[in-house]
């Protein structure tokens, strides 16, 4: 799953009306109150390694979230956000280390080998039972990707997708959206990672794949130019789906990261980073 800009990348303005909202009532962190300045002083932070902020993400790390599969270069939205949070916490770039964490392992219960993980991880009630989340740093929508000229490329509604073979990466809200929102006649194809899903689309093993909208833009513009984004939709959860940073359950670091995110929201930094990495605006149909 940040400083080169892809001119083809685009995100609808409606996705950015809630840049860093509070997480879902059932899916966010356990309320921990506002931290004191002393508790969030660099020397007092509860870290895996003293003096070092350890941040997890998957490998490969995809654009537009990371650039050149290198989280440490500060390029791409999530890399840039991670370093902005680190700076608010008092860490210089050379005091940040990156840890490889497979997506499906990140939200399993137990001890973590990172301080927080940033990897397009949606805040959900099920995950929040065993891990903690920060406040949201990105409001996500699902997108349907199909090959140009295919029958799916002309679809205009969610019910019409139900007759086609669909797929998504395992453990993602894209896969959940297929099962719970689209409810196709055939069981969805489940892939270990996005690369496998893309190859299945090219091979004709599935008619369409699902991913978050920014990733879909990168896939259609750069990785599979012969594909198109059929449309976007919000999962029917009643609330805006959000990505949050993930922590070991009961981590005392959560309030300090939330305070950093609040500052980055208030001073416009998150907005600027989204505009830089995610938002050359195009119109993508909303599937009803």
All domains in the chain, ordered by first residue: 13-140+240-278 (3.40.190.10), 142-233 (3.40.190.10)
pLDDT per position as a tens digit, 2-35: 322 333 333 333 333 333 333 333 344 434 456 7
How many C-beta atoms lie closer than 10 Å to residue 30's C-beta?
Answer: 11
User: What is the sign, positive or negative, of the torsion defined by CA atoms of 41, 43, 48, 49?
Assistant: positive
DSSP state, residue 11: -
pLDDT per position as a tens digit, 154-187: 999 999 999 999 999 999 999 999 999 999 999 9
Question: Three-state DSSP class for 242?
Answer: strand
- Residue owning tokens 């809200």: 173
Point out the residues of the chain with pLDDT beneath 70. 1-34, 37, 236-239, 280-282
pTM: 0.77
The separation between the first and the last C-alpha atoms of the chain, rounded to the nearest angstrom, is 27
């Amino acid at each position: 799953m940040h400083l080169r800009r892809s001119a083809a990348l685009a995100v609808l303005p409606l996705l950015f009306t809630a840049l860093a909202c509070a997480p879902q009532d059932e899916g966010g962190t356990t309320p921990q109150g506002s931290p004191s300045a002393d508790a969030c002083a660099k020397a007092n932070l509860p870290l895996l390694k003293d003096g070092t902020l350890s941040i997890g993400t998957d490998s490969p790390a995809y654009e537009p979230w990371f650039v050149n599969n290198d989280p440490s270069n500060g390029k791409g939205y999530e890399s840039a956000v991670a370093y902005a949070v680190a700076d608010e916490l008092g860490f210089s770039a050379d005091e940040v280390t990156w840890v490889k964490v497979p997506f499906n392992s990140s939200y399993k219960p137990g001890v973590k080998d990172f301080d927080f993980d940033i990897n397009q991880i949606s805040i959900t009630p099920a995950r929040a039972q065993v891990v903690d989340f920060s406040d949201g740093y990105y409001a996500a929508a699902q997108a349907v990707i199909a090959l140009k000229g295919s029958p799916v490329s002309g679809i205009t509604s969610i019910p019409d997708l139900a007759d086609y073979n669909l797929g998504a990466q395992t453990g993602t809200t894209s896969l959940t959206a297929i099962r719970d929102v689209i409810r196709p006649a055939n069981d969805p194809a489940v892939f270990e990672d996005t690369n496998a899903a893309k190859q299945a689309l090219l091979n004709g093993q599935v008619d369409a794949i699902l991913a978050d909208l920014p990733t879909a833009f990168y896939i259609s513009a750069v990785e599979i130019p012969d594909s198109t984004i059929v449309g976007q939709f919000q999962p029917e959860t009643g609330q805006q789906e959000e990505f949050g940073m993930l922590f070991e359950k009961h981590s005392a670091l959560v309030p300090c990261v939330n305070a950093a995110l609040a500052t980055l929201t208030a001073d416009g930094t998150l907005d600027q980073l989204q505009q830089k990495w995610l938002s050359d605006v195009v119109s993508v149909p909303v599937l009803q």
